[in-house]
Amino acid sequence: MKFPRLSGIDRASPRGSLWVLLMVLVLALLGSLVWLAGRYESSRVQSRLERNAVEIVSDIRSGLTRNIQTFQALYASEPTPDAWHGPAVGLLREHREILRLEWRNEALQLLSYVETPYRTPVFERLGRDRLAADLSVTCNAARRLSGATYSASYFAPQADGMGLEVMDMCQPVVVGGRLTGYIVASYSLQDILGELVGKQLVRGITLSFTEADGTRLALQGVASRGNRIFVARELLDLPGNTLVIRMDSRLGTPALFPNVLTALVTAMSLALLAVLFLLARDMRRRLKVEHDLGEALAFRKAMEDSLLTGLRARDLQGRITYVNPAFCKMVGLQPSELLNHGFPSPYWPPELASAYQQRQETRLAGNHSPRESHESVFMRQDGTRFPVLIMEAPLVNAVGKHTGWMSAILDVSEQRRIEEISRASQDRLQASARLAMVGEMASLLSHELNQPLAAISSYATGSLNLLRGEIEAERTSAAQTAVCQPADGPVAPPLFDDLQLAMRRIAEQAERAGKVIKSVHDFVRRRERVREAVAPQSLLDAIMPLVILQSRKLEVRVVIELAQDCPPVLCDRTMVEQVLLNLSRNGMQAMQGAEETPVVGPPSDRCDRVLTLRIRLAASNMQSRWVEFAVIDRGEGISTEAAKQLFTPFFTTKEEGMGLGLSLCRTVIEQHGGFLGYEAAPPQGTIFTFTLPVAWVRKAGTTAQDVREKSCHGTD
């Protein structure tokens, strides 16, 4: 008995849908007509208000420009302060928006000023000196721009308890191409709205200056009463300051039925709605049945779409008979591209298609294969591969007949990504363990090497004492036989002097090695290091013997550029010396494999094996708080691949390197508050620079532009 009823519903559904569509169209037409009429009236009001706002901005900008030209006319005859006072008073009588006019010299000292006759002195309560800093900033900007500049507005309280929002304008006075002073005009924002805006534009509206957040700064006029507010905003962009002009207009909302046509359409639509209402009762039962059927279908569809696991069904011939949205999203294909598709499947990778097809044919050859799961690789529509876990079972219908196979498919790419992240974390932990082991080795070496270094220093000191004894004995013997020898004979053989110099260098280097080990020990233990004021020349003198020895071996010429005005730097002397020495050695070694590039020009510009050590202030002025150290080589430069991990621990391009030098150098410089970086040196090579803080601030006015260049090669 139910099937005929359902058939009747199916036949009547198109007709009922047409009636519903007609009713919706009529209602939409009626609402659209009424809405469009009101919207048209509102848009006309808003457009007119926006045009007025643009004209107001143009009027204000034109008025301020005319005032600037008037100010310039005051200085056409190079007046004195007394002669300037009279025309300035007349100018303020004509321009009520100007509260105060000042004439200041090039040092911003006040030469003369006049107040508006229409108000009490604007700075009587606040005081002009309290705004000197803001005025100085505005005038400096005007001098840089060579034109008038406006300051940000500020509130100036008055003696009567009220206040004004004031904006200063500073204009440079240039006579004969020379800056002779400034003219400063203080504007009232409220009077600018009242004096510089045409009266016909502000009739019946509220005009105001506002900040970006909507805070009102000045207000002019009161809008007429109405039940709707129309607002227009426009930017007044001035040099040095930007203000927002807001116009508020209160107007009545257009009538609900603005014309006869709308009323007629409304009446006809109501009549049509009455006819449609008579048909609604006949469709009510059918709509209820359709609603129940739709809910059942929607519930079933929701269950299929809510699954995150991909579902796929195959028949006995291997054709796909069903896929859910999760599976389509997984492989990036539409259901129409998958349904009724046999082997090979479109989501199989081409290189694995033969193996997959052989496995599917084996499965199709058996009956009621057991439930199983296996991993596989699928391909999305864009060609990317991703791993999946497939759980497949026979598909049996309600009567127990085997009709195909049902598969549940999981995308395990996220799980694989997490596993990769876990492996990367393990690698980082191993690297951290290696760094900890390096720290322990450094502590052990610092403890074990102190005694041999102390013995070397002691032996060197003893050797020096023996040499001095030999020299004294030689001198005594020479004195006793002075009668028999010429007066200008040698007192001691030159060999003794060379041996003394060599033994002193041995003692100095042993002592320096001890300091380096102590600094490394403190660095590893993270103890507080003592920093001292050290002259840059002293840092160079400490490392130059080792640098010169290395340069002789590698046939490198060393050039020193030391600015004479460099102040002492505050640093850990030993660690900074090691940074300089490490960068110098790296630069000399980088030039060993570099091919010389011929350069057209004088010999000083040619690319040969030259290592430049440059020390200068980090800025051109004398108030810089940083000193810049640069090590410049003419090697092959740093490749893009090496630059990505140049400062990474254990990364090195040398066969015998450990990969810790640059990393430790950057750590030392950053602990001093400086920065270690590099850049390419034209025409070839690399510049490594780092900065150190100065020990004290140098006095202003000190000038030193001379740079001493020292070239050392071989015996330097």
CATH number reported for the structural domain that contains residue 405 in this entry: 3.30.450.20
DSSP 8-state secondary structure symbol assigned to residue 694? B
Exposure of 126 by Cβ count < 10 A (0-12 exposed, 13-18 middle, 19+ buried)?
Answer: middle
Span 470-483, average pLDDT: 64
Between the ranges 317-321, 450-454, 457-461, where is the mean pLDDT highest? 317-321
pLDDT digits (tens, 9 = 90+) for 369-420: 556 677 888 888 888 888 888 888 888 887 888 878 788 888 888 888 888 8
Average pLDDT, the chain: 76
Q: Residue 43 forms beta bridges with which residues? A: none
Structural domains counted in the chain: 3
On whether both 565 and 611 belong to a single domain, the answer is yes
Contact between residue 593 and residue 636 where contact means Cβ atoms under 8 Å apart: yes
* Angle, helix 2-73 to helix 260-306, in steps of 10 degrees: 110
Whole-angstrom Cα distance, residue 165 to residue 154?
A: 6
On whether both 573 and 615 belong to a single domain, the answer is yes
Contact between residue 576 and residue 692 where contact means Cβ atoms under 8 Å apart: yes
Asked whether residue 296 is domain-assigned, the answer is no
Give the torsion through C-alpha atoms of 470, 475, 479, 481, to 10 deg: 60
Q: Is the peptide bond before 683 cis (omega within 30 degrees of 0)?
A: yes
Contact between residue 325 and residue 422 where contact means Cβ atoms under 8 Å apart: no
Element (H, E) at 667: helix 661-671
458 pLDDT band, cuts 50/70/90, is low
On whether both 345 and 470 belong to a single domain, the answer is no
Contact between residue 618 and residue 627 where contact means Cβ atoms under 8 Å apart: yes
47 pLDDT band, cuts 50/70/90, is confident
On whether both 493 and 550 belong to a single domain, the answer is no
Tell me which of 308-322, 602-616, 664-678, 681-695 is least confident: 602-616
On whether both 605 and 459 belong to a single domain, the answer is no
Asked whether residue 472 is domain-assigned, the answer is yes
On whether both 488 and 611 belong to a single domain, the answer is no
Asked whether residue 42 is domain-assigned, the answer is no
pLDDT digits (tens, 9 = 90+) for 484-524: 455 444 444 555 666 667 677 677 666 666 666 666 656 55
CATH of the domain at 623: 3.30.565.10
On whether both 703 and 631 belong to a single domain, the answer is yes
On whether both 469 and 399 belong to a single domain, the answer is no
Span 233-240, average pLDDT: 89
Whole-angstrom Cα distance, residue 571 to residue 542?
A: 14
On whether both 614 and 553 belong to a single domain, the answer is yes
Span 53-70, average pLDDT: 90
Distances (CA, A) of 567 to 7, 14, 570, 628, 671: 101, 94, 10, 11, 20
User: Is pLDDT larger for residue 469 or for residue 349?
Assistant: 349
pLDDT digits (tens, 9 = 90+) for 71-99: 888 887 778 888 888 899 899 999 989 99
DSSP 8-state secondary structure symbol assigned to residue 608? -
Whole-angstrom Cα distance, residue 131 to residue 154?
A: 10
Contact between residue 337 and residue 331 where contact means Cβ atoms under 8 Å apart: no
Tell me which of 203-212, 456-465, 595-604, 619-628 is least confident: 595-604
On whether both 541 and 679 belong to a single domain, the answer is yes
Cβ burial 57-66 (10 Å sphere, 16+ → b, else e): beebeebbee
| Adjacency order of strands within the sheet including 402-411 | 320-323, 310-315, 402-411, 385-396, 372-379
Contact between residue 605 and residue 683 where contact means Cβ atoms under 8 Å apart: no
Q: Which residues contact 292 (CB under 8 A, 6 or more apart)?
A: none
Residue 613 confidence (pLDDT): 92
Residue 386 confidence (pLDDT): 85
User: Is pLDDT larger for residue 152 or for residue 623?
Assistant: 152
630 pLDDT band, cuts 50/70/90, is very high
Tell me the backbone φ, ψ of residue 292, rounded to 5 degrees.
-65, -40
Tokens standing for residue 127 = 């005081």
Q: Could you tell me the residue range of the domain that residue 588 belongs to?
A: 530-712
693 pLDDT band, cuts 50/70/90, is very high
Q: Is the pLDDT of residue 597 over 50?
A: no
Asked whether residue 221 is domain-assigned, the answer is no
Q: Is the pLDDT of residue 33 over 70?
A: no
Whole-angstrom Cα distance, residue 164 to residue 181?
A: 27
Nearest alpha carbon to residue 238 among 49, 57, 52:
57
pLDDT digits (tens, 9 = 90+) for 254-296: 445 554 555 566 667 677 677 777 777 777 777 788 888 888 8
Contact between residue 196 and residue 63 where contact means Cβ atoms under 8 Å apart: yes
On whether both 388 and 483 belong to a single domain, the answer is no
Asked whether residue 117 is domain-assigned, the answer is no
Asked whether residue 684 is domain-assigned, the answer is yes
Asked whether residue 552 is domain-assigned, the answer is yes
On whether both 312 and 455 belong to a single domain, the answer is no
Asked whether residue 637 is domain-assigned, the answer is yes
